[in-house]
Structure 1
Amino acid sequence: MTHGRHSSGSGTPERALIMKVHRRHDRRRGLGLIVISLSILNFLWVVNFYISSFSSSQEDLFELSPQLTHSLSFLNDSEDFGRLVDRLNFNFLLNTKPCDTSSDIFMLVFIHSAPEHYHNRQTIRQTWGLETNLVNDSFRVVFLVGEVQNQSVQLTLEEENKVNQDIIQGNFIDSYRNLSYKYVMGLKWVTYFCRQARYVLKADDDIYIDIFQLVRHIKVSFEVSHGEGLVVCFLIKKPYVKRSQRSKWRVSFAEYPGTYYPSYCSGWAVLMSPLMVYNLYLQSSRVPYFWVDDVYVTGTLVKILGVKHVDITTSMSVNKEYVISWLQNNDTSLPPPFGYPDLSPENIHALWTKTLLYYNKSGTS
């Protein structure tokens, strides 16, 4: 019994000590959990702050509408002239200045062309791009190309330009991945060498345009109050980013992580005000390069400026079947305003011939 009482008596302080240690440990663990919780909350708050700040800055980037202005004071000519987006060694290998001959130009057309596409350029020069087509509304046409590594092609380009004085060539390799450089080069060229144009049309070298109908549409729809942020085109809304390995326009997640692009213009015909051209050019030096040119210029840069596209898909829709049907029909009726992309030079000539026939018979142009 004595041994039992001794054992029992000595066990109670031990248990008390153990419980005290456990309570102290529980308190420390509780404090530790509180500290950890506070640290986590603080961390989450900091992360949320930076995410919010980043989102806000991105939101500002895309929703801020800079006051559209055409003051060249925003350009540091000595630095800017040699820059193209992220290229700091840019220069024009070929540069003609057809706008210098007139202080009043209704429309400047800059056309994306491949260096080897001589027949496409010549076809446009002989048809809808002939500058004497518009008697009362002067317009100029230039062709944009990149650098070529084939000396024979380069020499041919230089000879072609001596005859026509309408080729603008930049010192970047002409390729799909450099199309955004070509587009921005067009914006840059207009900014420096054709600011007096009242409208600027970007086009491709494989399309047809009823230039008479286009000018009439511009005057009726935009001449009085087109707004300085004018971008008129066939709009592609909520477009998926192409991920297929088979597509030449495939974009990796590293290049563009989003599922959709911002709405952008189908690039074969885009009408802009010169002020819009200037502001798009300004933004191009502030936004990282993205090689899908239509998305980069008429999607991302337009969205940054907070400008809404004018979609002419309904009013001037292009239907391949209708164009072919009109061309083959013996009746002389109003021409389609545009011919679909990838037209052959032969088809462009045929469309132009029938277009002239219509206007000659109707007595209008």
Structure 2
Amino acid sequence: MTEMDNNRSKSSVGYYLLAFITLVLMASLSLYAINSGQFNRFRRRIIVERNTVKSYTVGNTQTGRMIDEDHKYAINGVNQSILKGSTLKCFGHEFEILLNHDKLCEKSHDIDILILISSSIKQFSERQAIRKSWGSECNRNDTAIKCLFVIGNHRLTSDGLRISTRDSGLQEESTLYKDIVQIDYIDSYGNLTYKTVFSISWAVRYCASAKFVMKTDTDMYVNTYLLPFIIKKAPTKFIGGFCWGPSTPHRNRNSKWYVSFKGYREDKFPPMCSGTGYVISMDLVLTILQTSEHIPFFHLEDVYIAMCLQKMRVTPNYLHGFNNMKPGFTPCSYKNDIITSHGVTPKELVTYWNQIKSCSVSVIPENVYKPRPLLRVH
């Protein structure tokens, strides 16, 4: 072997040795990254599970009786952001969508209003009553009103176990009616803020052509005869419904709406609209979503939206015809004067709607939109 061949052989050995060392180092780094990721995911899960069982516990201090079990499992918003891998937002609402109807608004380019209805798995009769009554005006190709039921996936038992609702017949209902979106989160009263903010984010993503969005519930009568007259007169940057001025938080631990001083330190809540039903212009919906990234989670959804509005320096509007209670029923008043009524049963909804049909719309359309001074409350 010549001296040149000897040097070339030594060089080859050195090359292969360097390559071997490089491969070993890369394998070690990959293993470290995998283990580190598993550790972080495990750590995030522990953080969320620990906070899931301690937030917003409501009970009688003498008997220890739970007033509302759902409060016990309201997830802290900051930790929910950690769960979703976000370190930049105060409030995370990016839940997995299990059932979707993303084509709801696709064929209608002139949508006046999208009505988002908070529902739950077991409320099939309530959804059917809406479809047979005021919701019958929704979702046709020739209508400017769209309706969507927003439903969660899990309930929690008293011992903290999750009950999955995936196999509940909801898939068949969704396929038949094409008006349901289901999200993978714990469906509870204490988590309504998540459902509300997710609902309006769905509207921005899948129904951006809508001019207005309405949030309401399944136990509501909504006057879809008069609603179009309201939104034709309402301005931009608008939110309105049954709204009131600054109010005092409930400090009584027996209250369903109990708020501790630790949870909210101010003496007054900002002006707000009842979560039973309010209308928002789409431009304001987008701004609320952007603002929510910087407002920590709060378990009362109407208060949370009010916090966002306060940050945005937007005042809600109290509108004639919106109610957070149930006014006495007469067919023509519910046709011409009542916009929302709360606490209406499925049977009542269908009965009311059938009787309302006998009345004509006697109100002047231009007079339906009637803002009033905000209600004064203690």
The TM-score normalised by the length of structure 2 is 0.65
| Structure 2 Cα separation of the partners of residues 179 and 279 of structure 1 | 20
Alignment of 1:119-198 (within 5 A): 119-131=125-137, 137-148=143-154, 149-151=162-164, 154-198=167-211
Does the Cα contact within 8 Å between 1:147 and 1:172 map onto a contact in 2? Answer: yes
Cα gap change, 1:185 to 1:154, in 2 (>3 Å): farther
Alpha-carbon separation, structure 1, partners of 2:224 and 2:93 = 37
Among 234, 243, 260, the alignment partner of 1:235 is 243
Distance in 1, matches of 2:94 and 2:362, equals 53
Partner of 1:102: 108
1:86 to 69, 91, 95: 91
Local SS of the residue matching 1:286: coil
Q: Which has the higher helix share?
A: 1
| 1:296 equivalenced with 2:297 (yes/no) | no
Structural mapping, 1:260-339, within 5 Å: 260-297=268-305, 299-312=306-319, 315-316=320-321, 318=323, 322-324=327-329, 326-327=330-331, 334-339=335-340
Whole-angstrom CA distance in 1 between matches of 2:245 and 2:93: 34
Letter in 2 for 1:347: E
| 1:84/1:184 contact within 8 Å kept | no
SS at match of 1:357: coil
Decide whether the 8 Å contact of 1:332 with 1:358 is kept in 2: no
Residues 141 and 166, structure 1, Cα contact 8 Å, conserved in 2: yes
Residue deviations 1:218-241, cap 9 Å, x none?
32x32xxx12x1101111222110
SS of 2:315 mapped into structure 1: coil
Q: Give the number of equivalent residue pairs.
A: 273
Which structure carries more relative contact order (alpha carbon 8 Å, separation 6+)?
A: 1
Note if contact 1:108-1:140 (Cα within 8 Å) is conserved in structure 2: yes
CA 1:250–1:360 in structure 2 vs 1: closer, same or farther (change >3 Å)? Answer: closer
Partners of 1:140 and 1:280 lie apart in 2 by 21
Matches within 5 A, 1:29-108: 86-87=91-92, 90-97=95-102, 98-108=104-114
Contact 1:84 1:90 in 2 (8 A): no
- Aligned residues of 1:318 and 1:336 also touching (Cα < 8 A): no
Give the structure with higher Rg (CA).
1
In structure 1, runs of 5+ residues without a counterpart are 1-78
Pick from 112, 117, 142 the counterpart of residue 118 of structure 2: 112
Call closer, same or farther: CA 1:177–1:154 in 2, change over 3 Å. farther
Match of 2:228 in 1: 215
8 A Cα contact 1:323 1:339, kept in partner: no
The sequence identity of aligned pairs, in percent, is 26
The normalised TM-score by structure 1 is 0.67
Unaligned stretches of 5+ residues in structure 2? 1-83, 155-161, 366-378
Cα pair distance change 1:231/1:256, threshold 3 Å: same
Q: Is the 8 A contact 1:283 1:301 kept in 2?
A: yes
